[in-house]
Structures are given as C-alpha cells and as structure tokens.
Structure 1
C-alpha cells in the first residue's frame, strides 16, 4: 500500500492516552475481535451507552473516516497494544500528530498502523481544514507527503523498515520471516562453532 486516501477527522486532544483510546474494561478478551467497540468509548458514548452526537466520529459527515488528526503526545501512557488493534478495527489507517507516546509509536508501526509526525503548525492547518468541513487527505508513501484537498502539502519521514512494512503489508512476524535465510545461516554457524550447546 503506497497510497492512502480518505476522510480526516480532527481529534485535537493533547496527551490522549492509551487508557482513553482503549479503556480497561475492553481488555478482558482472549482474541482481538470486537475491540472497535471500545475505542475512545468514554468520548464516543455517554454513561448510558448512547452515542454522543457532538463527538467527531459520531457525526454523520465523519462516519467512515480512516485518518485521525490528533493532538500532541497522542497515545501516551501505558503499553496497550489493544489501542492499536482497536483503532485499526474501527477503520483507522493513519494517525497524524505533532508527537506520539513512544511505546504506542512502536506498537502502531509494528502492526501496520501508519503514524505521521508533522510540525504543530501543519497539524493545526490540517485539523482546521478538516473541522471546517469533512476533508479528504492523501498520504503518499513514495513521495512521503500528506496532501489535503485545500492545498496543504506536508512532507514527513519514516524509517525504512517501517515504510517497507506499511507498503508491503508486513507485521513484525512477516518482516522477520523476510530474513529467514540469514537467520538459518546464523543458526547453522552458531551451532557449528558451539556444538556443545544443547538446543
């Protein structure tokens, strides 16, 4: 996947932590299924479980949004891979923010959820455009740019390994298996040099 395009939803909440993205009551599962129901639950629903009509992802114009424009330090807090899985199940392909929680950043990219770091002014410009009216963004991994319908063009960077994982649809297991020949060769050399070591 070299190109991602879709509706962007502004969610400019600084320090939105993983406990808010995926509340604890949705962690009592043995599979990944159904996590989309818990994403941002307390923001999306009221105490009775009814959708909050003013929350951006509940508004008709933003239904089906696959790009989030987040606040600074998005995904801070505890290590909670469920937050990544839930966002993906909800249909989110990309999160754009000025900064991300470090553990969330690694979890996301290792699970093929694209995170893009932009300058705060660029994030604000994209969010303002998306807030004024549902805006389509285009993310091009070949040119490494984000383009908005309103003309904002923002370059970004991404490590080569994570870029390859996103464009080729690889998770960490798939990326590791790409190195299977090298791993096998290393193992054979290791056992040949250390035959006394038991497997």
Structure 2
C-alpha cells in the first residue's frame, strides 16, 4: 500500500447528505474479487444517464472536477452496507483523501485499511469550505498527515485529529497484513522454536 504523508491535489465538493455505499459502488459491480477496476463504476447511477452517457450535471463530471484526488463530502458519508468495495472504488478512481463532518464507522475504518485518509471536520468548517469552493476562491488543498493540517490555496488552515495507530499505518503504507509482516522474523523464530518442542508419536 502506498504511504500517505503529505498529499496535494484538486478538490471536488459533493453537497449530498447520507451518501451510502450502494451509491458509491452499486451492487451489480461487486462481482470482482480484485481491488482494482472499480473506479469506472464509482457513483455509477449518478455519473451516467439511463442510456450510458455521462450526466453533465453530476459533480464528478464537471470540467472543474477532472483529476480531483480529494473529495469534500457531507454528513454521514459511506453509510449503508459494509462493502469494502466502496473504498476500493474511491481509491481506484484516484481519491486519496475524503473530508466530511461525519462518516459511517465501518466505511471510516475501511478507508485506513486501503490507503485512503478520511478526515472529520466540524460542520461549520465544512460549510465554509464548500461555499468558498463554490465561489471559485480555491481549487486545491494540501493535506499534511504528519502535521495533521489541511491547507487550501486561498489560505484556509484546518487542524484535524487522527487515531495514532491509524496514522502510523497510513504514514508507513501498511494494511493489517503489512503490519503483521513487520514481525516476520519473530514469527519465523517462534515457529522454528515451536517445531523443536513438538512431540513425535
């Protein structure tokens, strides 16, 4: 998993409450077992018309949103089912950071396990960011995970909190397996020692 220390990128704002995982990645696309290839189906029912053509009015389809890697979402983002595919789709599309006033718990934890940083900010701060972004006052932001600060290109500076363990994992590009493999030498030593004490019948 790629480490996330400091990320600078274009921001797209999504002013929708309670965006659930079935909207993030609809159920008909959950047939793959690989983690890649889901980005093209992200927000599929909103991104495309019934005939398959792009919906020009959807946030991610605007010219301004192209190449965005930071999503400014709204309350209760990632609610609904526990499908990890929702984070896979966001990551495969190119998002490294999702900022919102609140997240569904399972989605929030799945983000850290897949190299995406979810940041919780106060509702009033989110409102200020959304309004100034809509007015064209800023386009890009830098998210510094080491310093735990968001800075926009018009001067906003917002501190955020992250659990120390989850922060460590993202900074070092570790998922649960990668974290365990840091102790590979100890595991091998234990297994070798254990074999020496096994009884032979």
Normalised by the length of structure 1, the TM-score is 0.89
Unaligned runs of 5+ in 2: none
CA distance in 1, matches of 2:68, 2:128: 18
- Counterpart in 2 of 1:89? 92
- Counterpart in 2 of 1:45? 48
- Counterpart in 2 of 1:176? 180
CA distance in 2, matches of 1:78, 1:183: 35
CA positional deviation for 1:67: 0.3
CA contact (8 A) 1:72 1:98 kept: yes
- Counterpart in 2 of 1:98? 101
CA contact (8 A) 1:111 1:172 kept: no
CA positional deviation for 1:164: 1.6
CA distance in 2, matches of 1:157, 1:105: 14
- Counterpart in 2 of 1:144? 148
- The alignment partner of 1:176 has SS state of helix
Normalised by the length of structure 2, the TM-score is 0.88
- The alignment partner of 2:22 has SS state of helix
Unaligned runs of 5+ in 1: none
CA distance in 2, matches of 1:195, 1:123: 60
- Counterpart in 1 of 2:61? 58
CA positional deviation for 1:180: 3.2
CA distance in 2, matches of 1:11, 1:186: 50
RMSD between superposed Cα atoms in Å: 1.9
- For these two proteins, the number of residue pairs brought into alignment is 194
